[in-house]
């Protein structure tokens, strides 16, 4: 398969992407520093390099905050890039992994995998990928065969999401121990997250991110329309499938350890388009850093602003995303028939 070469990122977006990268690093540092017990940045460095071992602060950082922070960064980047790809492939700015049922498809496969073999931690990200891919292909098939409008596609996604959600409920009803902390999984969050759950998913996320960046040139051509992309030599169906597969892998891997986090894939790509423009490679890099920053800051707020209570970050994201989705619907009501 020959794909036209990906263009380099122009200087102006490059500076903004660098700022977003710095913002993600600041969010990660704040996540490690702040909580019920504050830890100074200097101590964190000594803990990570092994100079401080066996102290209460070291145990807090290594076994609680470090896995949580890495989970926030990975899930945020994965869901945001997945949303940017899905919006580009479907030509629908209202699409997102949680809106069209991709997250729920992944969640159903996670529930089934846990019910069949609760100890198969390494298999869960791949099972989630299969569930997410089935949901993405189902929605794409509906869009391609019916020429569905933006609003119809969203409504179809909500219906599919409800069906997969019912499947998750059925699995948990029959196998009550399939998903420990089921309510947290449904809301989405990073409580009690361990490195053993993050590492298998991280490889899937990194590979899918690399694939998405390599296919960004194809995503730009798809934005020109199917006929134009064909005329320019792009194998449209194959590239669409590969892009959807990468988006499904990203969303599925994130769901496997973060649960059904909502609206990250909807909010972040829209914000990043205003910041760096429509060019796909710039948008994908900006979405990765922007999504990582958003989820990490929201998680930090959820566990510090309401102390001693720790809210699942999914609650904060749903409050932000619900309002943003309503605004987006009303702003684009003139385009619901196209």
Largest CA distance in the chain: 64
Measure the CA–CA gap between 333 and 207, rounded to whole angstroms: 37
- The 10s digit of each residue's pLDDT in 36-86 is 888 999 999 999 888 888 888 999 999 999 999 999 999 999 999 999 999
Q: Terminal CA-to-CA distance of the chain, rounded, Å?
A: 31
Measure the CA–CA gap between 275 and 256, rounded to whole angstroms: 30
Tell me which DSSP letter residue 5 carries.
P
- The 10s digit of each residue's pLDDT in 159-195 is 888 899 899 989 988 888 777 766 778 889 998 899 9
What does pLDDT average to in each consecutive run of 10 residues of the chain (338 residues)?
53 87 97 90 90 88 95 97 93 85 92 82 86 88 72 80 90 82 81 90 95 94 86 88 92 93 92 92 96 96 85 90 80 52
pLDDT at 225: 84
pTM flag (> 0.85): yes
* 263 Rama class: left (phi>0) / alpha (psi -120 to 50) / beta: left
pLDDT at 181: 66
pLDDT at 2: 47
Give residue 325's Cα distance to chain centre: 17
pLDDT at 34: 93
pLDDT at 284: 96
Reduced to 3 states (helix: H, G, I; strand: E, B; else coil), residue 87 is: helix
Which structure tokens are listed for 200? 């298998």
Measure the CA–CA gap between 172 and 168, rounded to whole angstroms: 6
């Amino acid at each position: 398969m020959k794909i036209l070469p990906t263009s380099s990122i122009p200087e102006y977006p490059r500076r903004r992407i660098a700022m977003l990268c710095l913002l993600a690093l600041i969010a990660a540092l704040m996540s490690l520093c702040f909580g019920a017990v504050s830890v100074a940045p200097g101590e964190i460095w000594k803990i990570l390099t092994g100079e401080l071992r066996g102290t209460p602060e070291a145990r807090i950082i290594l076994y609680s905050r470090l896995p949580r922070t890495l989970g926030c960064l990975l899930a945020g980047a994965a869901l945001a890039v997945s949303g940017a790809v899905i919006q580009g492939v479907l030509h629908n700015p209202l699409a997102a992994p949680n809106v069209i049922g991709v997250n729920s498809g992944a969640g159903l496969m996670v529930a089934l995998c846990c019910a069949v073999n609760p100890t198969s931690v390494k298999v869960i990200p791949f099972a989630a990928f299969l569930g997410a891919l089935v949901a993405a292909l189902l929605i794409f098939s509906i869009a391609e065969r019916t020429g569905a409008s933006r609003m119809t596609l969203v409504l179809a996604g909500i219906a599919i999401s409800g069906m997969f959600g019912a499947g998750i409920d059925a699995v948990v009803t029959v196998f009550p121990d399939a998903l420990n902390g089921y309510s947290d999984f449904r809301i989405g969050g990073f409580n009690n997250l361990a490195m053993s759950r993050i590492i298998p998913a991280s490889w899937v996320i990194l590979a899918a991110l690399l694939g998405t960046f390599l296919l960004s040139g194809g995503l730009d051509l798809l934005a020109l329309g199917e006929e134009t992309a064909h005329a320019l030599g792009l194998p449209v169906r194959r590239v669409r499938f590969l892009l959807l597969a990468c988006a499904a892998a990203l969303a599925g891997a994130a769901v496997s350890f973060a649960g059904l986090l909502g609206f990250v894939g909807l909010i972040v790509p829209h914000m990043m388009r205003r910041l760096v423009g429509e060019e796909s490679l710039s948008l994908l890099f900006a979405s990765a850093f922007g999504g990582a920053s958003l989820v990490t800051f929201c998680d930090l707020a959820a566990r510090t602003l309401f102390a001693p209570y720790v809210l699942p970050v999914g609650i904060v994201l749903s409050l932000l995303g619900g309002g943003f989705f309503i605004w987006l619907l009303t702003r684009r009501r003139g385009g619901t028939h196209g």
